[in-house]
């Protein structure tokens, strides 16, 4: 009975979004056929355009270029932002000095900065810092009662306790980085999914390829967010919320 309930629960989560997607695709198809649009493609035309890109290898080259840019910039941002956020959250002087700077720079459009690193580093720094500030005092008091040194307290209590907030910051930063790289590829680069969309529109009004690129960008963004959510299930991350 328990196994069947788990199966029913899984289907219950999957079927509603699939039904909504099916309805949207059906409405899209009927709308294009009903209006006899010469510009907007049908879902099947988008599928055939995607197959065309797969067969000639163009799609994989653009996906690889986009992911390489995001991975490089986001990886550097993680290495910089997480330690800095921990330091700002743990050392009051660092927080008082640097937090106003980050708060001033954070609203500036990352597209204008044209840097994936900059666009993703701000949410991670601020989220990590906030995570340190929200650690329950009872953890720190318990460690102090046992005479734990400040460095050990930081390694064994602060870092594990702040990991859930770090993951949230990484999810936000990665999402922003993915948006920025696509926008940047539309403006100044000659490879990647953003460039694929602009090039398809300019080179013969291939709107089937434009829509295909948009869908692929959305699916990859969803996959990246799902991969980050898997980190939330790690035991070292969930311990803070254990009863």
pLDDT tens track for 2-15: 445 555 666 777 78
Return mean pLDDT, the chain. Answer: 83
Q: Which helix (H) or strand (E) holds 192?
A: none
CA–CA dist 128, 102 (Å, integer):
13
Residue 114 CB-density burial (10 A; 0-12 exposed, 13-18 middle, 19+ buried): middle
Tell me: pLDDT of 215 over 50: yes
CA–CA dist 146, 124 (Å, integer):
32
CA–CA dist 192, 51 (Å, integer):
17
Rounded average pLDDT over 219-233:
88
* Residues whose CB is less than 8 angstroms from the CB of residue 161 and which lie 6 or more positions away in sequence, other chains included: 131, 135, 136, 139, 240
CA–CA dist 159, 152 (Å, integer):
10
pLDDT at 214: 92
Which CATH topology does 41-241 take?
MetI-like fold (1.10.3720)
Tell me: pLDDT of 202 over 90: no
Tell me: pLDDT of 1 over 50: no
* Residues whose CB is less than 8 angstroms from the CB of residue 127 and which lie 6 or more positions away in sequence, other chains included: 85, 165, 166, 168, 169, 172
pLDDT at 67: 92
Rounded percentage of the chain residues whose pLDDT exceeds 70: 90
**Neighbour-count burial for 165-198, b at 16+ CB within 10 Å, e otherwise:** bbbbbbbbbbbbbbbbbbbbbbeeeebbbbbbbb
DSSP secondary-structure letter at 39?
S
**For 102-152, how does the pLDDT look when each residue is reduced to its tens digit (9 = 90+)?**
887 776 655 545 768 888 888 899 889 988 888 877 777 777 777 778 788
Asked whether 103 and 130 are in contact (CB, 8 A), the reply is no
Domain ranges of the chain: 1-37, 41-241
**For 23-74, how does the pLDDT look when each residue is reduced to its tens digit (9 = 90+)?**
998 998 898 888 887 778 888 989 999 999 899 888 999 999 999 989 988 9
pLDDT at 243: 41
207-231 and 159-187 helices cross at what angle (nearest 10)? 170
Rounded average pLDDT over 83-104:
87
Q: How many CA atoms lie within 13 A of 118 on its CB side?
A: 13
Please tell me the pTM assigned to this model: 0.76
């Amino acid at each position: 009975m328990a196994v069947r309930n788990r199966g029913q629960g899984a289907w219950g989560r999957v079927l509603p979004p699939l039904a909504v997607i099916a309805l949207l695709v059906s409405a899209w198809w009927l709308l294009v056929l009903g209006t006899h649009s010469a510009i907007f493609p049908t879902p099947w035309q988008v599928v055939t355009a995607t197959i065309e890109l797969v067969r000639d290898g163009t799609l994989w080259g653009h996906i690889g270029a986009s992911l390489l840019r995001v991975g490089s910039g986001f990886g550097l941002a993680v290495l910089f932002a997480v330690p800095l956020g921990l330091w700002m959250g743990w050392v009051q002087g660092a927080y008082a000095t640097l937090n106003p700077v980050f708060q001033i720079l954070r609203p500036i459009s990352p597209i204008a900065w044209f840097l994936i690193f900059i666009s993703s580093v701000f949410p991670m720094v601020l989220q990590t810092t906030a995570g340190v500030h929200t650690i329950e005092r009872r953890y720190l008091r318990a460690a102090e009662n046992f005479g734990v040194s400040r460095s050990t307290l930081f390694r064994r209590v602060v870092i594990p306790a702040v990991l859930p907030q770090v993951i949230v910051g990484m999810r936000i930063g990665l999402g922003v980085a993915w948006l920025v790289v696509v926008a940047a590829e539309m403006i100044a680069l000659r490879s990647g999914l953003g460039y694929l969309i602009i090039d398809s529109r300019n080179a013969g009004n291939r709107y089937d390829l434009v829509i295909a690129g948009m869908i692929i960008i959305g699916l990859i963004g969803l996959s990246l967010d799902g991969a980050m959510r898997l980190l939330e299930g790690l035991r070292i991350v969930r311990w803070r919320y254990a009863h």
